[in-house]
Amino acid sequence: MKDLWHGFTRFIRSLHPIRLVTLGYLSYVLAGWILLSLPFTHTAKNLHGIDALFTAASAMSTTGLVTVSTGNDYNLVGQIIILVLIQLGGIGYMTFGSFVMLSRSGTLSERRQQIGTTVFSMPAGFQIDKFIKSVIVFSVLTEVLGAVALYSSFLRLNMPHPLWSAIFHSISAFCTAGFSLYDSSFMELRNNVEVNAILGILSYLGAMGFIVFVDVWRRITGKVSALTLTTRIIIVTTTWISVVGTLLFFICEPSIQELPAPQRLLAALFQVMTSITTVGFNTIDTGGLSPASLFLIIMLMVIGASPAGTGGGLKTTTFTALFGAIRGVLKGKTDVTFWGRTIPMERVRQAMATLGFYASALIVGCYLLALTEKFAFEKLMFEAASALGTVGLSTGITPDLSPLGKLIITGLMFLGRLGPLAFGMALFLPSEAAKKNPTAEPDDIAL
């Protein structure tokens, strides 16, 4: 037994950080699947094993797509398990172990620093041990404040179980998970500015990323003289995409044209926010949107959140690097620059590879769903993009997918949480790469 254990530990230590992260997430999905399949976690009479697996993968990947009702088919124990999976998936399973070790010893081993750098897509200049402490403090503080704010709102609105609902939705929003205890998400509160604003702030804080928080805090406290290029790109890109997306949705979506202008703007703001942050809540019926709006949302879901945040998607920095490469080619330049800074070609190549893997995964997912399902293709494409982007928005077809369709979506959610490029690297990296840190680049651009 001792030899078996030593062999196992040697195997784990030999793994590349990306492979170790992949196995870690997979182990939590399997553990969640087992727990959610047990009879004392749900109230549904005939909960299928595939539905339990789907829910576990959706929670761990912070997606929010569901085939059964979270609020009705799972009891309090099941909902707590789902919430734990959401928290683990949102912050990163390695963060907790690293934080415990830091609390006891004050330092991190080189191995855990490599893994932490891999999980968070860390740019140069950040110390991973201090960064992880900041992650925990920031996350807990934000979720507590969010829960207090939501509890106050839910109490005034006479919502059922306001305290538990506030805690659940605060964590779900910050981790951009999109799981809701309400079957209609927040459609009944479409015109409530306070709840919309709280959920939006929590989602943006989670999606824009821990790097932005730490960097801004260091700038405010005077520890650095300027924000890193990563942070500036994240803030500017997220702002522009949100503004342009909101204007397009406000002007072009027919289903909200009859609403008064303030309510129409609020609905557009929330729908774009939920797409770009990949949180997946909704205040209007997604299944009733026009084809143009569905395509707009697909594009926003593909772009997604930012590196080191809780959201999914291609990432705003990757999108910006690709945009910069296209702009450079059109201007006849060989370098990709932003605000006078040159982005290393290694980062540009990484962005192109990420796009290639992402597009390939989306194409394969759509093709497989087209083979197994009978729904309109635009709905299948929307479902696949939502799963791969770990968004959780749906046109309403998720519960009616075939068992094979549910397994395909489960695979896309898991792939989306890891990132298609990271998943490809985990599969194809040579074993001798285990001693190298693939993200140790001499620049401050995170993709």
* Mean pLDDT (whole number) for 105-116: 63
Crossing angle of helices 128-156 and 110-120, in 10° steps, is 50
How high is the pLDDT of residue 1?
Answer: 65
Report the candidate in 92, 95, 109, 177 with the shortest Cα–Cα distance to residue 422: 92
Position with higher pLDDT, 440 vs 411: 411
Task: Report the 10 Å Cβ neighbour count for 295.
Answer: 15
Could you tell me if 335 and 342 are in contact, meaning their C-beta atoms sit under 8 angstroms apart?
Answer: yes
How high is the pLDDT of residue 286?
Answer: 95
Residue at 268 is within a domain: yes
How high is the pLDDT of residue 437?
Answer: 44
Position with higher pLDDT, 167 vs 103: 167
Position with higher pLDDT, 308 vs 291: 291
* Mean pLDDT (whole number) for 98-115: 59
The two three-digit tokens of residue 83, written as one number: 């919430």
Residue at 130 is within a domain: yes
Q: How far is Cα 270 from Cα 183, in angstroms, rounded to an integer?
A: 18
pLDDT above 90 for 431: no
How high is the pLDDT of residue 404?
Answer: 97
Looking at every residue in the chain, the average pLDDT score rounds to 85
Q: What is the pLDDT of residues 352-389, one digit of tens each?
A: 888 998 999 999 999 999 999 999 999 999 999 999 99
Query: What total number of domains does the chain contain?
Result: 1
Residue at 69 is within a domain: yes
Band (pLDDT 50/70/90 cuts) for residue 433 is very low
Band (pLDDT 50/70/90 cuts) for residue 8 is low
Angstrom CA distances, 419 to 19, 118, 189, 447, stand at: 12, 12, 33, 11
Residue at 263 is within a domain: yes
How high is the pLDDT of residue 439?
Answer: 40
The two three-digit tokens of residue 253, written as one number: 């979506």
Q: What is the pLDDT of residues 39-57, one digit of tens each?
A: 999 987 788 999 999 999 9
Of the listed ranges 11-25, 131-145, 185-199, 229-243, the one predicted with least confidence: 11-25
pLDDT more than 90, % of the chain: 55
The two three-digit tokens of residue 367, written as one number: 């093709």
How high is the pLDDT of residue 436?
Answer: 47
Position with higher pLDDT, 306 vs 7: 306
How high is the pLDDT of residue 434?
Answer: 41
Q: How would you write the chain as a 3-class SS string? A: CHHHHHHHHHHHHHCCHHHHHHHHHHHHHHHHHHHHHCHHHECCCCCCHHHHHHHHHHHHCCCCCCCCCHHHHECHHHHHHHHHHHHHHHHCHHHHHHHHHHHHHCCCCHHHHHHHHHHHCCCCCCCHHHHHHHHHHHHHHHHHHHHHHHHHHHHHCCCCCHHHHHHHHHHHHHCCCCCCCCCCCCHHHCCCHHHHHHHHHHHHHHHHCHHHHHHHHHHHCCCCCCCCHHHHHHHHHHHHHHHHHHHHHHHHCHHHCCCCHHHHHHHHHHHHHHHHCCCCCCCCCHHHCCHHHHHHHHHHHHHCCCCCCCCCCCCHHHHHHHHHHHHHHHCCCCCEEECCEEECHHHHHHHHHHHHHHHHHHHHHHHHHHHHCCCCHHHHHHHHHHHHCCCCCCCCCHHHCCHHHHHHHHHHHHHHHHCHHHHHHHHHCCHHHHHCCCCCCCCCCCC
Phi-psi region of 160 (alpha: psi -120 to 50; beta: other; left: phi over 0): beta
pLDDT more than 70, % of the chain: 81
The two three-digit tokens of residue 378, written as one number: 């635009």
Residue at 218 is within a domain: yes
Q: Provide the domain limits for residue 72.
A: 2-435
Band (pLDDT 50/70/90 cuts) for residue 70 is very high
How high is the pLDDT of residue 388?
Answer: 95
How high is the pLDDT of residue 268?
Answer: 97
Q: How far is Cα 231 from Cα 30, in angstroms, rounded to an integer?
A: 35
How high is the pLDDT of residue 225?
Answer: 82
Residue at 441 is within a domain: no
pLDDT above 80 for 333: yes
**Sequence-separated (6 or more) residues with CB below 8 Å from residue 36:** 42, 52, 55, 56, 74, 78, 81, 82
Could you tell me if 59 and 386 are in contact, meaning their C-beta atoms sit under 8 angstroms apart?
Answer: no
Band (pLDDT 50/70/90 cuts) for residue 123 is low
Backbone angles phi, psi at 281, to 5 degrees: -70, 160
Band (pLDDT 50/70/90 cuts) for residue 443 is very low
How high is the pLDDT of residue 231?
Answer: 85
